[in-house]
Chains A and B, each alone.
Chain A
Amino acid sequence: MKNSFKILSITFLVLFCSTLVTAQQSDYKIKQDFEKNHSELLTSIEMAQKVAEIDNLIIEVENLKSEYADHEKMLNYALYPESFDSKIASLKSEARSAEHKLLIIENQAERLNMLTDEVTRFKSELSNLSGKSDSLRKQIAASEESERKLSNLVASYRKSVEERDEFIFGMVDSLFVTYNQLAPGTIEELAKTDGSGTIKSGDNPLVIVNSILAENIETLKASSEAFTTEDYLRIYALQNKVNEVWDNIGDNLIEIYGGNDKTRWKKRIETDLKDWKSSASLSMWNSLDNYLEVKSVELGAFDNNSSFFSALDNFVSNATEKSEGEIISNSTYEDFKTFSEFWSTKVMDEWNNYLVEADVLTTSQIATIDSKIENWGDSSEPFPTSLLIIFGVALLAIIGLIIALVIK
């Protein structure tokens, strides 16, 4: 009973004091305090780095609302043209928006970590493949083996470079898919957290891209004897792909991983890409020209996609025109057979993927030439000898018949 009275007394005292404190407050001060709390909460929401922080801040917004609910009427007046409710609503809206943004960033950061693991795997695999290719190239350079053994070494080397190129194709695809899907507006946040050192420097995709470029430039310089036209086409297609992917995600990669050396990274990679492109392009067009020369296909000069198509188109059109003028003779038919074999085995089969992938010829250009080759085949095919004999016999029979009729 005594205890109950004591508790009651304390409760009454607390209530009395709090009423007293409330009564002695200045409305202006209440408004100022509310605005200060609002402003602090807003800043905290804007500065929050984690979704969990935002969740706590949302609770604080609710607390603020409850704390000032008794002064709602006064605050509505004092905060005009805003109101108590609109101020609370704006905080909640900011919090929801920040939470949404942070959820995306956290999700992106998670994906980025996964990618870092993938980049590490890429790096190790690429290193193995490059090591194997380099070793084979050195063996070829220093080889005093028989021609057959040397040929085997060259074949192994070509296969090894092909494997490495195929791997890079897959890797840049993976990089593209990951970085191109980063939500807009999250790059800067990721750069803040990851550019500074979360990613180990060796696993930095920029380092990987740079090493790919350096190794490929080196490969092109060192392998003029070992590579076939198909190899050069593949390398050209690969550099085309890397250029394309870099155009799409390069700025994002630089922003996230460039750290304090963004300009240097950008300049270095873009210079290497340019070198690789000119080197791959020169090697590929030269190789293609040499191949056609060996096959006795005189296309004329070409050194880019459009001049190559024009040369092919003119060659086939001229040959068709020429064969249409020859009714009995079949002098162009051999040319047709040579070109047709090159076209069907190389362009339409072995090189087709690389030609299209590297934009050396588009599918519609290939279809156009293919159709013209068909016409060329029809017009250049020599008149069959058996038909000539039948025609001669028929002619003689008719002449004989006419003579017989005249004699009668």
Chain B
Amino acid sequence: MKYSNFSLFVFAAVFMFTSACKTFEVKNVNYAQQVESVLEPTQNGQVDDSRYGISFNILPFQYQEMQDSSSVLVNEVRLIRNQSGYYFITANGFNNVYVMEPIDSGLKLKEKITISESGLIKPAFNLRSPYVQLIDTETSEIYILNEKGIKKEEDKS
């Protein structure tokens, strides 16, 4: 009886402690990257953003777009992070913008936003919090994005 009371007490204390740890969180964190990163892939497809501390391989994205990951076919990768912490990734020739959520040692697809069937020619991201603006500077097409998709199409010239 004496030991069972003690066990119960220990269990309750551990439960409360772990619960407290799990619920500790800070709200209103702004992950936003004010200016996009323009990254040049290596021969292996690796891109490295030394300023914002992220490094990944573009070939899986390229495969998604072109079903080809045998060699690197894009010369510049455009990357921006919105204030919620999602990465928006695209490149010239891509039809889509990939909204990626950071996970443990990886990026997980949150949303694949289809922009153009013919492919973006010269895409560029601008942060227009809370949105991310995508411009095809070649065609002057502008898209307002968030992690859920296209918010609205602003202009088509």
Contacts and interface: CB of A to CB of B under 8 A. Distances in A.
Nearest to B38: A28
A29 B124 contact: yes
A20 interface: yes
Given A27-B124, A77-B34, A78-B34, 9 more contacts: A20-B155, A23-B142, A24-B135, A25-B135, A26-B125, A27-B36, A28-B124, A77-B35, A78-B35
20 contacts: A23-B142, A24-B137, A24-B140, A24-B142, A24-B155, A25-B137, A26-B36, A26-B125, A26-B126, A27-B35, A27-B124, A27-B127, A28-B35, A28-B36, A28-B38, A28-B124, A28-B125, A74-B34, A74-B35, A78-B35
A27 B35 CA distance: 6
Contacts of B34: 27, 74, 77-78
Given A74-B35, A77-B35, A26 B135 contact: yes
Nearest to B34: A77
A26 B155 contact: no
> Size band of the A side of the interface?
10 to 19
Q: Rank and list the top 5 A-B pairs by shortest CB-CB distance, nearest first.
A: A26-B124, A77-B34, A78-B35, A27-B126, A27-B35
Contacts of A29: 124, 137
Contacts of B135: 24-26
Nearest to B134: A26
Interface of B: 34-36, 38, 124-127, 135, 137, 140, 142, 155
A329 B39 CA distance: 110
A111 B155 CA distance: 64
A31 B51 CA distance: 15
B31 to A, nearest CB: 14
Nearest to A73: B34
A20 B125 CA distance: 16
Interface in A104-157: none
Nearest to B142: A24
Nearest to A77: B34
A151 to B, nearest CB: 93
A78 B35 CA distance: 6
Contacts of B35: 27-28, 31, 74, 77-78
A78 B137 CA distance: 20
Interface string A4-25: 0000000000000000100111
A77 B135 CA distance: 20
Contacts of A25: 135, 137
Contacts of A31: 35
A29 B126 CA distance: 10
Contacts of A77: 34-35
A78 B125 CA distance: 14
Contacts of A27: 34-36, 124, 126-127
Interface in A194-224: none
A77 B32 CA distance: 11
Contacts of A26: 36, 124-126, 135, 137
Contacts of A28: 35-36, 38, 124-125
B15 to A, nearest CB: 45
